[in-house]
Amino acid sequence: MFLDSFEKKIAVMFDSVKAFCSRISGMIGKFCPEFLKKLFRANRAGVAARNLGNHVITRYLVKELTLYFAVAFLFFFLVFFVNQILLVVENVLKQRVPFNDVMKLIAYSLPMIIAQSAPFATLVGFLMCLGRIMSDNEVLIFRASGLGYRSVAIPVIIMGLFISVVSFFVNDYLLPVGKLNYNKLLRQIVASNPGVEIEPNSVKRLNNATIVIGDGDEGQVKDLVIIDKSNDDSQRIIVAGESNLKSSRKAGILMQMNMKDSVSIFLDNKKRTDYDVLKADIATMNIFDSAVFAGNFATSPTEMTSYDLKKKIDDFKSIPGHSKSQLNAFVTEFHKKFSQPFGSFFFALLALPLAFLFGKHNGQTIGLVVGLLISVLYWAMMIMNQIFAIKVGTMNGVLAMWLPDSVIGFAALIFYVVLKRK
């Protein structure tokens, strides 16, 4: 009896434990999938939120950078455009050149102005935009959202690279086409109206000569002095009392100067004690278009694409005893085709750390001032390097064109290190 009663109790307890385990098992089986689903959905929602946040911030940065770049580009475009009008078109307008030709000259100058404006607009525009973002504490919002500086750096770098590629197309294709048509039209204008190049009471510097002009009017000039230098390092000085300017129909000749009572002195720099003197009642001097436009080249380096320049450089190197100065001029222009447009990329690299380091207060104003200052220094360095490479011939063309970008890139690297440590 006792055993039967004990077995019944054990059976009842076993059934109770079995039922409890079954109930727990059912609850676990019912609850766990829902829990895992909710956990997976929450995780996926977090990833989607981060991706959406990155997408929104990228669109916002691209929009702001584009806006500030457009404003800065318009500013630099107007500066270079007015400069081009004052230097070239004003002189052409004085000589009563047809207005249609003047407008064509302006149109042919636009690719050069665009190529010059893009790098500086990138620097100033990006500095002002990122400086405003920094001073408005929008960077804190980015970081509070779990986004680092890389989320800002990537759009900046990609936009700088995109601007560089577009600028390279303008610099390598549109600029040679515009320059070629510009020089062609200017040759026609000068050939039909020599007064465009020879203006009274002025000093005209040609490629290998300097002309000092006295009083004059209607194609006549007085007190003319010409200082010329030939390829064999000899000099020629011509002095004339009165000269008549005439257009020429011969190919390659821009104008003729019929000089009265001229005196020519020929000097040999190797033998300074030797000189020749030639006097003439009437003498005619032809001024070739190569003396004004392209120097010793049939085609100016600025009228060539990078492909044409590379072929010209290879042809020069294959000629024994080639002129190093001419070769360096082509090398300089070839590397300028790349260094000038890709200056936008280096400026974009520099803009981000500069704005974040120094743009906490009045970032937009500081970006404008600093950007203009760096632009002036960069432009001065580029012009000086071109003079030393082409005119003086004491600087390698590769170094001359890439040195400014290298300085900007090195400065960007230093500021990035400082920003990371800060």
Using 50, 70 and 90 to split pLDDT, how confident is the model at 377?
very high
CA 27 – CA 30 distance, rounded (Å): 5
- Domain assignment present for residue 16? The answer is yes
340-345 mean pLDDT: 94
| pLDDT beyond 60 at 7 | no
Q: Which residue has the tokens 């390829």?
A: 231
Arithmetic mean of pLDDT over the chain: 78
Per the domain annotation, does 199 fall within a domain? no
Alpha carbon separation from 15 to 6, 25, 29, 45 (Å, rounded): 14, 15, 21, 45
Does residue 107 fall inside a structural domain?
Answer: yes
Indicate whether 297 pLDDT > 60: no
Q: Are residues 279 and 358 in the same domain?
A: no
Among 242, 276, 294, give the residue marking a domain's end: 294
The domain in which residue 237 lies consists of: 208-294
Please indicate, yes or no, whether residues 141 and 3 belong to a single structural domain of this protein.
yes
Q: What is the pLDDT of residue 46?
A: 45
CA distance 173 to 170: 6
Nearest-CA neighbor of 255 among 186, 180, 182?
186
Task: Give yes or no for a contact between 214 and 223, defined as CB atoms under 8 angstroms apart.
Answer: yes
57, part of any domain = yes
Tally of domains within the chain: 2
DSSP H helical ranges for 200-341: 289, 306-318, 324-339
Residues 158 and 47 in one domain: yes
**Contact present, 225 and 237 (Cβ < 8 Å):** yes
- CB-based burial, 370-385: b 16+ in 10 Å, e otherwise: bbbebbeebeeebeeb
Rounded CA-CA distance 145/163 in Å is 29
Indicate whether 284 and 363 sit together in one domain. no
* Percent of the chain topping pLDDT 90: 28
Is the Cβ–Cβ distance between 333 and 304 less than 8 Å? yes
Q: Sorting pLDDT into bands at 50, 70 and 90, what band is 286?
A: confident
Residue 200 within a domain: no
Q: State yes or no: pLDDT of 306 exceeds 70.
A: yes
Averaged pLDDT for residues 262-286:
79
Kindly state whether residues 249 and 305 are assigned to the same domain.
no
Mean pLDDT calculated for residue range 197-226: 75
User: 264 with 307, same domain?
Assistant: no
Most confident stretch, 195-209, 252-266, 366-380: 366-380
pTM greater than the 0.75 cutoff: no
Asked whether the predicted pLDDT for residue 45 surpasses 60, the reply is no
Mean local confidence (pLDDT), 412-417: 92
pLDDT band at 410 (very low <50, low <70, confident <90, very high): very high
Residues 125 and 260 placed together within one structural domain of the fold: no
* 3-class secondary structure, 149: coil
Structure tokens that stand for 216 in this block: 């004059």
Query: Is residue 251 very low, low, confident or very high in pLDDT (cuts 50, 70, 90)?
Result: low
Write the pLDDT tens digit of every residue in 120-136.
999 999 999 999 988 88
The per-residue pLDDT for 74 is: 95
CA nearest neighbour of 364 among 150, 171, 154, 125:
125
Q: Which of 229, 260, 294 is the last residue of a domain?
A: 294
Asked whether residue 312 carries a pLDDT value surpassing 50, the answer given is: yes
**201 lies in some domain:** no
Report how far residue 99's alpha carbon sits from residue 105's, in angstroms, rounded to the nearest whole number. Answer: 10
In the listed set 294, 323, 348, which residue is the last one of a domain according to the structure? 294
One domain, residues 278 and 376: no
How do residues 348-375 score in pLDDT, each as one tens digit? 999 999 998 887 888 888 989 999 999 9
Percent of the chain whose pLDDT exceeds 70: 75
Same domain, residue pair 411 and 335: yes
In this structure, are 162 and 310 located in the same domain? yes
Confidence of residue 2 (pLDDT cuts 50, 70, 90): very low
- 409 and 288 inside one domain: no
130 shares a domain with 9? yes
pLDDT value for 39? 37
User: By 3-state DSSP, what share of the chain in percent is helix, strand and coil, each rounded to 5?
Assistant: 70, 15, 15
> Considering the domain boundaries, does residue 203 fall inside one?
no
pLDDT per residue as tens digits for the range 143-164: 776 667 777 888 899 999 999 9
**Does residue 55 form part of some domain?**
yes
**pLDDT for 382-402, tens place per residue?**
999 999 888 877 888 899 999
Say if CB 271 and CB 281 are below 8 A apart: no
